[in-house]
Amino acid sequence: MSETPGIINRYNEDEARKFSGDLAQLLYVSRLLGQDENLVLSGGGNTSVKVIEPDLYGEPEERLYVKGSGGDLATIGESGFTPMRLLPTGRLAELAQLDDTEMLNALVSHKVRADAPTPSVEAVLHAAIPGKFVLHTHADAPVTISNTSKGAALIREIYGERALIVPYVMPGFKLARKVIDLWRTEASGPTDIMVLMNHGLFTWGETAKEAYDLMIEAVRLAEEYLRAHNAFEWPLTNTDPLVDRVIPQAALRKKISEAAGAPMLLTYYPSGKGFGLAQHDNVADLATRGLLTPDHVIRTKRIPMVGRDVDAYVEHYKQYFNEQAKRDGRDLQMIDPAPRIVIDPELGMLSAGRTMQEAELSGKIAVHTMTAIMRAEQLDRWQPLPAADIFDVEYWDLEQAKLKRQAPYKPFAGEVAVVTGAASGIGQACVERLLELGAAVVGFDVDLAVYSDRFVDRPDYVGIHCDITDADLLRESLRYAVWVFGGIDMVVLNAGVFPPSTPVAELSLDAWRRTMNVNLDANVTLLKESYPLLKLAPRGGRVAVVGSKNVPAPGPGAAAYSASKAALNQLARVTALEWGKDGIRINSVHPNQVFDTGLWNDDLIAQRAANYGLSVDDYKRSNVLNTEVTSRDVADAVCELLGTRFSKTTGAQIPVDGGNERVI
Ligand code: ZN
């Protein structure tokens, strides 16, 4: 087993010099913190700097630049920090009591720039801490140690009198208030680290470097303590039982989506730790004691689902909600009771989300939590905050407001589409449109361009280099798609070949068979292989077939192409008849003369135009509507057929050809 690397100090003098001014220095160290997932996970942690700037009248004003709520430290820009009037912001902590909503209102009114983001709820605390640069992280190692039965004593042992130890209170006003009180009574000369139990660390300094170095030092000390007590390394073996996970994973996704009331992606999280913990004798107890830090609750729920009994999980969540809501006394609306993390002895760890970003973030948090659990158990005993404290954050007005501020989900959010021939033309346009509409997309193509650069950083797109006429490869590719996204809701049968024009009398049977192979046979295999998955689509499976005008109106010289597309058309109609009982819809579009596809090039278009005695422009518009048809037009029609507006339509054929006299 290789040794787990410890925290590293990423500060680089040459780099740092490129960031001139206090805010830029803060930006630099904030990004350094954000790069290290052992310090903060996306959206967690916050940082600030206190500066003096001239106000509108040229008078010097003390200001606090503090991270905006929900921003990501790893990628933060200067506009991600909210400038605030320092004095009224810090003074809020002098109030004996302040409702969090009132606090937020006051914070927003102390912004210096109206369009700056809503400041972090920890802004009051940042203002109150007497350091120029203030950094706050949820660093794994010290927070893990604080989540043990002897937490406070161990933290004291590690940091001695350097640390101000703050027992857990809700973030926001209560925390700021508590820190100020403790500071007055307990902070001593050497205090340069603040440990918030079950939550995180604060460090500060006169320079950004000083504050950053202290943060790294504090984490290093906690890691060394864990190492010295044989509690740093992952102690379990991680064996992947290599089960055939396709149907179990898709079935589980359906159940989870039903519990959530909307389609969810369910991704297999490639961390052996999931298997390791899932096979631990005591997994049901260990994994469900609670969270590393309460703000994770918004992403992972309080506890993962151990095993696959979604109904029991939902029941348990409802019970937890009812008990806690009664204690709370407010009139609360229960959020969806579906699990976000699954720990299953056979399937390992899976994470669910309405988008891939959500699912990946939940999964990441869960891996850090598992690490914390096993470290805490080796050191002492994993003892995170009780359910009541977690509930308070889960149903905290400010956290709920954060969720409400999120843009609404897109129409295909949580759904998965497979597109064949995805690397160019109509297939590529379908990929783009489906992504715009919020679907996760798996693109198949024999062309390597299927690994498109444009999608390289997108977690919601997977390109698979795949010859769809190879049935084994196709099956393997679908398996991979389910592994990554959890199932298949939509299939776009698009890949096709258009052989050179040949009269029937001169047809080679080989060329004929090749056309049939791609345009027809491969689609039979894809339909067959997708069927069990489409049946498990939360909102019902859908198939869109890219046919051709040649189906209703064939042309001379295109026997193989026309026959293959006509056979595909019949295949789609029969399939629509057979699969209606499973709620699966199959509809076709029949495009014509879509010139921005791989079937055409400028020379060919010019040659054809000349054949008809037309200019290229007139030739492109030679249809009833006198309009040019693009790949995007076809993709729009395909996505409409896949969407809810056509939820009562199956077996339909829609021309996308600008109107063709022979078809009409
Ligand atoms: Zn925090």
Dump pLDDT digits (tens) for 575-614: 999 999 999 999 999 999 999 887 788 898 999 899 889 9
- 412: DSSP letter: T
Question: 43: CA distance to ligand 1 center in Å?
Answer: 10
Matching residue, tokens 């390597």: 448
Matching residue, tokens 């050497």: 190
Q: Which residues of 312-338 are buried (b: 16+ CB within 10 A; e: fewer)?
A: ebbebbeebbeebbeeeeeeeeeeebb
Q: Which residues pair with 193 in a beta bridge?
A: 163, 203
Average pLDDT value for residue range 622-648: 97
- Report H helices in 229-332: 246-260, 272-278, 283-286, 297-300, 310-328
- Looking at residue 413, its pLDDT comes to 98
- Looking at residue 245, its pLDDT comes to 87
- Looking at residue 241, its pLDDT comes to 67
Question: 45: CA distance to ligand 1 center in Å?
Answer: 5
- Looking at residue 377, its pLDDT comes to 96
Question: 538: CA distance to ligand 1 center in Å?
Answer: 36
Is the pLDDT score of 313 beyond 90?
A: yes
Question: 172: CA distance to ligand 1 center in Å?
Answer: 9
Is the pLDDT score of 346 beyond 70?
A: yes
Q: What percent of the chain has pLDDT over 70?
A: 99
Question: 199: CA distance to ligand 1 center in Å?
Answer: 6
Question: 177: CA distance to ligand 1 center in Å?
Answer: 15
Question: 332: CA distance to ligand 1 center in Å?
Answer: 24
Question: 266: CA distance to ligand 1 center in Å?
Answer: 28
Is the pLDDT score of 437 beyond 70?
A: yes
Q: What percent of the chain has pLDDT over 90?
A: 83
Task: Read off the pLDDT band of 270 (50, 70, 90).
Answer: confident
Question: 530: CA distance to ligand 1 center in Å?
Answer: 45
- Looking at residue 331, its pLDDT comes to 86
Chain mean pLDDT for the chain: 94
Question: 90: CA distance to ligand 1 center in Å?
Answer: 18
Interstrand relation of 133-137 and 163-166 (parallel, antiparallel or unpaired): unpaired
- Looking at residue 35, its pLDDT comes to 95
Q: Nearest to residue 569, comparing CAs of 629, 493, 504, 646? A: 493
Matching residue, tokens 């390791």: 276
566 neighbors 574 (Cβ within 8 angstroms): no
Question: 58: CA distance to ligand 1 center in Å?
Answer: 35
- Looking at residue 178, its pLDDT comes to 92
Task: Read off the pLDDT band of 243 (50, 70, 90).
Answer: confident
Average pLDDT value for residue range 89-95: 91
33-55 residue pLDDT tens: 999 999 998 778 999 999 999 99
Task: Read off the pLDDT band of 3 (50, 70, 90).
Answer: confident
Question: 201: CA distance to ligand 1 center in Å?
Answer: 8
- Taking the mean position of all CA atoms in its chain, how far away is CA 344? 21
Question: 29: CA distance to ligand 1 center in Å?
Answer: 17
Average pLDDT value for residue range 487-516: 95
Question: 398: CA distance to ligand 1 center in Å?
Answer: 13
Question: 273: CA distance to ligand 1 center in Å?
Answer: 25
Is the pLDDT score of 309 beyond 70?
A: yes
Cα gap 253→485, rounded to integer Å: 9
- 488: DSSP letter: -
Question: 501: CA distance to ligand 1 center in Å?
Answer: 67
Question: 279: CA distance to ligand 1 center in Å?
Answer: 32
348 neighbors 274 (Cβ within 8 angstroms): yes
Question: 298: CA distance to ligand 1 center in Å?
Answer: 13
Residue 326 token pair? 């009664």
Question: 367: CA distance to ligand 1 center in Å?
Answer: 19
Question: 75: CA distance to ligand 1 center in Å?
Answer: 18
Amino acid (one-letter) located at 247: I
Is the pLDDT score of 175 beyond 70?
A: yes
Average pLDDT value for residue range 81-102: 92
Is the pLDDT score of 450 beyond 90?
A: no
Cα gap 620→606, rounded to integer Å: 10
CB atoms within 10 A of CB 99: 11
Interstrand relation of 440-445 and 163-166 (parallel, antiparallel or unpaired): unpaired
Is the pLDDT score of 516 beyond 80?
A: yes
- 519: DSSP letter: I
- Report H helices in 352-420: 356-379, 387-394, 397-405
Question: 449: CA distance to ligand 1 center in Å?
Answer: 43
Average pLDDT value for residue range 16-41: 96
Cα gap 410→326, rounded to integer Å: 34
Task: Read off the pLDDT band of 150 (50, 70, 90).
Answer: very high
Cα gap 222→200, rounded to integer Å: 12
Question: 156: CA distance to ligand 1 center in Å?
Answer: 20
Question: 226: CA distance to ligand 1 center in Å?
Answer: 22
Residue 476 token pair? 């393997």
Task: Read off the pLDDT band of 106 (50, 70, 90).
Answer: very high
Matching residue, tokens 């089960």: 243
| Residue 608 buriedness (CB in 10 A; 0-12 / 13-18 / 19+) | middle
Question: 365: CA distance to ligand 1 center in Å?
Answer: 14
Is the pLDDT score of 1 beyond 60?
A: no
Average pLDDT value for residue range 379-387: 95
Question: 328: CA distance to ligand 1 center in Å?
Answer: 22
Is the pLDDT score of 412 beyond 90?
A: yes
Task: Read off the pLDDT band of 271 (50, 70, 90).
Answer: confident
Question: 642: CA distance to ligand 1 center in Å?
Answer: 42
- Looking at residue 638, its pLDDT comes to 98
Is the pLDDT score of 404 beyond 90?
A: no
SS3 percent helix, strand, coil of the chain, rounded to 5, is 45, 15, 40
